[in-house]
Chains A and B, each alone.
Chain A
């Protein structure tokens, strides 16, 4: 009998205690924000969409090799002896034409493993996080700065150059 009334009593008391808690929260300011109108400031280490500064990229392929999901694809062509590709901001000499540098953000897992090995610090994570797309293919970002014609041209140039070199080599071989 005592347990019976004790049950009723504890039930009522705990319900009132709980109701007090929720009532207090009814009048506390909310912790949520109105997202698209108000945005939280992001910390400086925020890891979101990658960005590649192509001016500094030397096409070394280290980021692509570090990537655990293979979302970075890089294709490079050697430059011809006469061509000057300029220098990166930390003084490295560029020697490769980067004909393809795509990152598939549908695959990217934002682990930042590609950022650390980069010798010129040209690939880094930005704080852009709103880049949803209707088509998955739109998530493949191409960072290479060369126009398609230029790319074709560079590949062609290098092919011609190496063919010529082959021929020359064959010639010298023959002459010997």
Chain B
């Protein structure tokens, strides 16, 4: 792992730890957020027969950089009746929640913040911080719209964690590991070994599993979509009802923190889906590095495949956003409790039965 390598190199666990912790932030989250915001606007633009940002740089590629510069310069407005302490903590907490998730995400076989045995469990637990941040933001804003948005958001994220966990459980049950690293390693480098297609073991069960894995995949994708508040589940920030939900009152860099957290979260949940069902960082058709006998190429290829798959799912999230209307609060809850959870539960049962066959 990268921490061990740096520890050996510098001999100081502190330096190694700091670098390992900051690496995903600067090497990945910030560039990704910049890219994803641009991608979102471009996708939105072209889907709506527009062009999207075109002014800054060639076809607007520097637009988000300009936006960040603008946001940094903006006045940080704190209204008189805000709860100042919570108001200031909330964006940090929200961002910390989604940032912490990146610690356990396996970008490649060597670039992995911490190889925790309970990787997937850790990610699901730590993203719960986001709920706290959102609730704080909504409460501290002292704005009725923000409060409504925050309340909705808390209810939504908590109820959608259940189907997510049920699907995760079915995979964990099948493999017997919670480590995302082990999960990715076990889906060796060909796409028919992915858990979406029944897992790496080539037996009769594999073919029985395929339809249920597909259902599980759909459920986890939908429920993670809800967890990151994306359309059709974006009711916490439904701009046509609640103006902008819990971040209505935020401006400048604090607003940017929420924004960054949202996009970091989008990638984080896509990464979970990828790691569980689509082979994680494994290449779908073998490695060029193995073919050419260049060992250092393999991690790079793995990184490429992982980000490629992740960004593809982020793109699908955007695609859905610019296609669908949004659900209502009660329908959102109904979708989770009446549809996703029972189906996920039966799916879990069936996968369990198949796996002991």
Contacts and interface: CB of A to CB of B under 8 A. Distances in A.
Given A30-B45, A30-B46, A22 B51 contact: no
Contacts of A32: 49-51
Contacts of B45: 30
A22 B322 contact: yes
Nearest to A18: B323
B22 interface: no
Nearest to B232: A15
A55 B45 CA distance: 50
A28 interface: yes
A25 B48 contact: yes
A13 to B, nearest CB: 13
B339 A8 contact: yes
Contacts of B320: 15, 19
Given A25-B47, A30-B49, A18 B324 contact: yes
A28 B49 CA distance: 7
Nearest to B339: A8
B49 A22 contact: no
B319 A19 contact: yes
A40 interface: no
Interface residues of A, number: 17
Nearest to B42: A26
A42 interface: no
A27 B45 CA distance: 11
A34 B54 contact: yes
Given A28-B49, A30-B45, A23 B324 contact: no
A19 B46 contact: no
Interface string A22-45: 110111111110100000000000
A23 B319 contact: yes
Contacts of B46: 25-27, 30
B43 interface: yes
A31 B323 CA distance: 19
Interface string A134-151: 000000000000000000
B324 A26 contact: no
Interface string A1-31: 0000001100000010011011101111111
Contacts of B48: 25
A22 B322 CA distance: 8
Given A8-B339, A25-B46, A30 B323 contact: no
B3 to A, nearest CB: 41
Contacts of B51: 30, 32, 34
A26 B323 contact: no
Interface in A118-137: none
A26 B43 CA distance: 7
A7 B43 CA distance: 29
Contacts of B322: 22
Contacts of A23: 47, 319
A22 B316 CA distance: 12
Nearest to A21: B323
B320 to A, nearest CB: 7
A19 B14 CA distance: 49
B319 A30 contact: no
A11 B322 CA distance: 16
Contact of B323 (A7, A19, A27, A29): A19
A175 B232 CA distance: 98
Given A15-B323, A18-B324, A19-B320, A26 B54 contact: no
Interface in B64-94: none
Nearest to B218: A12
A85 to B, nearest CB: 52
B324 A15 contact: yes
Nearest to A29: B49
Interface of A: 7-8, 15, 18-19, 21-23, 25-32, 34
26 contacts: A7-B339, A15-B323, A18-B324, A21-B323, A22-B322, A22-B323, A23-B47, A23-B319, A25-B47, A25-B48, A25-B49, A26-B43, A26-B46, A26-B47, A27-B46, A28-B49, A30-B45, A30-B46, A30-B49, A30-B51, A31-B49, A31-B50, A32-B49, A32-B50, A34-B51, A34-B54
Given A21-B323, A26-B46, 8 more contacts: A15-B323, A18-B324, A19-B320, A22-B323, A23-B319, A26-B43, A30-B50, A31-B49
